[in-house]
Amino acid sequence: MDLKKINSSLQMSSVETPHMETISHLPSSMDLLIQDSPNSFTSPRRKLLPASIEERTMKKEDTVQGKKQKIKTVFSQTQLYVLNDRFQRQKYLSLQQMQELANILKLSYKQFKTWFQNQRMKCMRCQKNNCPKNSNSVTQNSSATTEYTGFYSYHWGYLMNTFGNLPKWRNQTWNSQSWSNHSWNSRNN
């Protein structure tokens, strides 16, 4: 994978992030680059639709013959790697963190939030069932790691500023959950 390409597209994306809530209206260059990487999924996928189109397609009211139409996003290896890495360190993110990381990953805030929610559920279920921990779908994928390294090194200043320093916690999520004090498990006991 060409990190330069990623980086340049990331550079663009991080600079021009006109809207937070949803999705870039651009053809999501990073997605295209990453998801097309030989290492992720090679088969042609229609989920490569620009997210904005997807959103439009799956508006609540949109139905196909009375059925709700969903479009299932398939996240790229790199996106999953970053998401998992973040999740392992922090189960709950602030609104700002979610928005910013979502922007970096070229995901919508909603997608990002949903992923974290689903991960938490998965994690809880797993623990209830005493699953061997770390059931991450993307654990040590070498190429994802490589991309991720470049990705993070490029964004490191930004990420550190955004996350590492835990800037201003806009909402009470983190505090109320007190994740710094109690483990993930404590909720389920």
Residues that bind DNA (CB under 7 A): 41, 43, 45-47, 58, 60, 64, 67-75, 80, 92-93, 95, 110-111, 113-122, 124, 137, 171, 173
Q: Which is nearer to DNA, 15 or 42 (CB)?
A: 42
Q: Which is nearer to DNA, 72 or 168 (CB)?
A: 72
CA distance 9 to 29: 6
Q: Which is nearer to DNA, 3 or 48 (CB)?
A: 48
Nearest-approach distance from CB 45 to DNA, in angstroms: 4
Nearest-approach distance from CB 151 to DNA, in angstroms: 18
CA distance 54 to 47: 8
Q: Which is nearer to DNA, 3 or 126 (CB)?
A: 126
Q: Which is nearer to DNA, 76 or 154 (CB)?
A: 76
Q: Which residues contact 131 (CB under 8 A, 6 or more apart)?
A: 125
Nearest-approach distance from CB 71 to DNA, in angstroms: 4
Nearest-approach distance from CB 32 to DNA, in angstroms: 14
If residue 68 lies in a helix (H) or strand (E), which one and from where to where?
strand 67-68
Q: Which residues contact 156 (CB under 8 A, 6 or more apart)?
A: none
Chain Cα centroid distance, residue 109: 9
**107 within 8 A of 79, measured Cβ to Cβ:** yes
How far apart, in Å, are the Cα atoms of 90 and each of 4, 58, 163, 169, 178? 29, 30, 10, 14, 11
Nearest-approach distance from CB 100 to DNA, in angstroms: 13
